[in-house]
């Protein structure tokens, strides 16, 4: 959901060396457990500026395709690194960020609950219905660990993800 900290967390992890595939939208291959990037810029809110720091914020604003709208900057992450743009990455885990909940440790989500949590974000569900969305989402939920992380201080959210031992974001 909007305001959960997805873009801020992903950008912070990207600045620490993780790969930022895309913002908000990725195309998942549930059989191969891969994610492909959607050609969309990362959108940050002005409130993320103190969390990410002035050095990174300045680099974002100076990126060639950076655009500043009313809420904050839009940018392509690949313009900030010397690495080639990743087109597809293997998934190591799925993290569901929860916005309006008391802070709590990151928890593993039961695959059945995970399927229904993912359904609301699945284009297949909105275009073809629940019957079409359930098989691939079940395959995804049974093939990967899925965690729930509540919004909290950026450093605590980063530590939770780093504790998984995975370099996929």
Q: Convert the pLDDT of each residue in 120-160 to its tens digit.
A: 888 889 899 999 999 999 999 999 999 999 988 999 999 99
5 DSSP 8-state letter: S
End-to-end CA distance of the chain: 17
pLDDT recorded at residue 134: 94
**pLDDT level of residue 169 (50, 70, 90 thresholds):** very low
Give me the residue label for tokens 């609950």: 113
Which distant-in-sequence residues (6+ apart) come within 8 Å of 23 by Cβ? Answer: 6, 7, 10, 40, 41, 42, 43
Q: Which residues pair with 26 in a beta bridge?
A: 37
Helical H segments across the chain, by residue range = 6-15, 49-52, 54-62, 111-119, 123-128, 130-143, 154-162
Q: Tell me the pLDDT band of 98, cut-offs 50, 70 and 90.
A: confident
Exposure letters 138-150 (e unless 16+ CB within 10 A, then b): bebbeebbbbbbb
Q: What is the mean pLDDT of residues 98-124?
A: 88
pLDDT digits (tens, 9 = 90+) for 28-82: 899 999 998 877 789 999 999 999 999 999 999 999 989 999 999 999 888 887 7
- Given a contact cutoff of 8 angstroms between Cβ atoms, the answer to whether 86 and 28 are in contact is no
Task: Give, for 43, the enclosing helix (H) or strand (E).
Answer: strand 42-43
Over 90: is that where the pLDDT of 22 sits? no
pLDDT at 167 over 70: no
**Mean pLDDT for the stretch of residues 102-113:** 90
- Answer yes or no: is pLDDT of 99 > 80: yes
Give whole-number Cα distances, 7 to 56, 72, 96, in Å: 14, 12, 13
* Degrees to nearest 5, angle at CA 82 with 160 and 45: 50
């Amino acid at each position: 959901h909007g305001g959960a900290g997805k873009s801020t967390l992903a950008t912070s992890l990207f600045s620490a060396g993780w790969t930022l595939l895309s913002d908000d939208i990725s195309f998942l291959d549930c059989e191969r457990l891969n994610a492909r990037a959607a050609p969309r810029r990362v959108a940050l809110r002005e409130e993320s500026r103190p969390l990410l720091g002035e050095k990174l914020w300045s680099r974002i604003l100076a990126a060639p395709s950076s655009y500043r709208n009313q809420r904050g900057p839009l940018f392509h992450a690949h313009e900030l690194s010397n690495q080639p743009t990743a087109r597809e990455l293997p998934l190591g885990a799925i993290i569901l960020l929860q916005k309006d909940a008391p802070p709590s440790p990151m928890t593993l989500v039961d695959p059945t609950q995970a399927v229904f949590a993912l359904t609301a974000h699945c284009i297949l569900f909105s275009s073809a219905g629940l019957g079409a969305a359930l098989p691939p989402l079940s395959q995804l939920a049974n093939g990967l660990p899925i965690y729930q992380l509540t919004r909290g201080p950026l450093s605590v959210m980063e530590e939770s993800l780093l504790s998984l031992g995975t370099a996929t974001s």
